[in-house]
Amino acid sequence: MIGSLAAFVLSASLSAAWTEPLPLVVGETFEVEALDAVRSVNVILPPDYADKPDETWPIIVQIDGGAEQDLYLANGLEKWNRLWGRSQPAILVGIETVDRQRELLPLTDNPDERAQYPAAGESDAFRSWLSEVVLPQIMARYRHNGTAILVGESAAGHFVVETWLKQPQLFSGYAAISPSLQWNSQALVKGIAQTIDARPPIYLSLADEGGETEQGMLGLLARLDPAQPHCFADRREELRHATSLHGLLPEALQYLLPTEADWLEEFGLGLRCDGGG
């Protein structure tokens, strides 16, 4: 009897401690039309953004940043980095893609790729929308410090490298994680006529892709001037293509948005560049 009474009192006290549920607000979202498709532009602000009206932050522009894509993964990893002081707190802007190959890749002469992705080839138009519409709107609306980095994986990684080659000053830094450099028989890399230098820093990586993807990356690295700031993460023996974004986005942010934290090595969070540095 006493045990039942104690259980009842405990249950009642726990129940009484609960309030009515409140919305858990993560960020803001805008619906916009671009390339004949309605898509979202999602913005997740630093938790103390409203409390620090005089402070500014860098911007992370994430391709494939829809709510059903990689937005929440990137948000979680960015917040985890912040917890450790691994990278600077930032404003995360997720750009939703609707038809990834159409929007993120240039035209291809490869018949197999044309057959599989007949709509591909509008990366220039997507980049123009990004540079002429999205970035000006974001920079006018939010308090930023002038630094903006572009992040993408796989096909979005190809878009990152293509942007870095075609419009390098559009962003302050670039992260191309497992980029699909096999596209169009490695045309993006093979079309580089001279040694690449004097561009913003870029983070590059390989997982287990092999084949032309690996050849394209090694070809790109061979074309970099030694003075070009870059970090190459060679994870061919450690990561799968499907796990490269999960495993490497924290390091990419650490390279492009560094802090002065001096405890990272102690906890196994040191920056590992297998090339560049």
- 3-state secondary structure at position 3: helix
Report how far residue 99's alpha carbon sits from residue 182's, in angstroms, rounded to the nearest whole number.
19
Closest alpha carbon to 58 in 122, 121, 146: 146
Write down the pLDDT at residue 9. Answer: 54
Q: What's the mean per-residue pLDDT of the chain? A: 93
Residues 6+ apart with CB under 8 A from 209: 178, 182, 241
Write down the pLDDT at residue 18. Answer: 84
Number of residues assigned to the chain: 277
Banded pLDDT at 3 (limits 50, 70, 90) = low
Confirm if 200 and 168 have CB atoms less than 8 A apart.
yes
Q: What is the DSSP letter of 36?
A: T
Write down the pLDDT at residue 195. Answer: 83
Write down the pLDDT at residue 275. Answer: 82
Write down the pLDDT at residue 5. Answer: 56
- Name residue 59's beta-bridge partners: 91, 148
Angle between helices 183-190 and 155-166 (to 10 degrees): 20
Banded pLDDT at 189 (limits 50, 70, 90) = very high
Q: Which amino acid is at 125?
A: A
Report how far residue 277's alpha carbon sits from residue 260's, in angstroms, rounded to the nearest whole number.
16
Characterize the bridge pairing of strands 173-177 and 202-206: parallel
- 3-state secondary structure at position 263: coil
Mean pLDDT across the stretch 101-107?
97
Read off the pLDDT of residues 226-237 as tens digits, 9 standing for 90 and up.
Answer: 899 999 999 999
Mean pLDDT across the stretch 148-173?
98
Confirm if 89 and 59 have CB atoms less than 8 A apart.
no
Report how far residue 48's alpha carbon sits from residue 168's, in angstroms, rounded to the nearest whole number.
31
Write down the pLDDT at residue 165. Answer: 97
Banded pLDDT at 219 (limits 50, 70, 90) = very high
Confirm if 276 and 230 have CB atoms less than 8 A apart.
yes
Order of strands, sheet of 91-95, starting from the edge strand that comes earlier in the sequence: 28-34, 37-44, 91-95, 57-63, 144-153, 173-177, 202-206, 230-234
Q: Which is higher by pLDDT, 197 or 160?
A: 160
Report how far residue 18's alpha carbon sits from residue 101's, in angstroms, rounded to the nearest whole number.
48
Banded pLDDT at 167 (limits 50, 70, 90) = very high
pLDDT higher than threshold 90 for residue 155: yes
What is the per-residue DSSP string for 22-42?
------EEEEEEETTEEEEEE
